[in-house]
């Protein structure tokens, strides 16, 4: 799947979430949601590395799957933020990460 198609589907999913739960998907929501998801990814990474209370330990396979889900949430919410801010994320990634323009 092309990146633009992924962006479109992610944004549609966010809009549908907002309608389903009567939540306004705006810049404030998206920014705070990004913080939340980064925190959840960090927590999953701590659990994966066994840097947490022993009662939170799970198998490596389970913890890796949880990290993957949380990282997907971070990327998804970053895509929603870009959409709401009118940022062409593909162009921004190309300039920042591939062509080292800034």
State how far the Cα of 33 lies from the Cα of 70, in Å rounded to an integer: 12
* Angle separating helix axes 60-85 and 27-48, nearest 10 degrees: 160
- What is the model's pLDDT at position 57? 97
What Rg value do the Cα atoms of the chain yield, rounded? 16
- What is the model's pLDDT at position 101? 83
State how far the Cα of 30 lies from the Cα of 36, in Å rounded to an integer: 10
Per-residue pLDDT of the chain (102 residues), as tens digits, is 999 999 999 999 999 999 999 999 999 999 999 999 999 999 999 999 999 999 999 999 999 999 999 999 999 999 999 999 999 999 999 999 999 887
Which residues 6+ apart lie within 8 Å of 18 measured at CB? Answer: 24, 25, 29
Class of domain 3-98: mainly alpha
Q: Which two tokens stand for residue 100?
A: 């080292």
């Amino acid at each position: 799947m092309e990146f633009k198609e992924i962006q479109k589907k992610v944004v549609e999913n966010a809009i549908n979430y907002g309608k389903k739960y009567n939540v306004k998907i705006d810049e404030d929501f998206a920014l705070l949601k990004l913080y939340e998801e980064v925190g959840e990814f960090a927590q999953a990474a701590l659990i994966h590395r066994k840097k947490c209370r022993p009662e939170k330990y799970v198998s490596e396979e389970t913890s890796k799957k949880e990290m993957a889900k949380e990282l997907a949430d971070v990327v998804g919410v970053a895509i929603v933020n870009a959409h709401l801010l009118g940022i062409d994320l593909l162009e921004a990634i190309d300039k920042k990460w591939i062509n080292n323009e800034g």
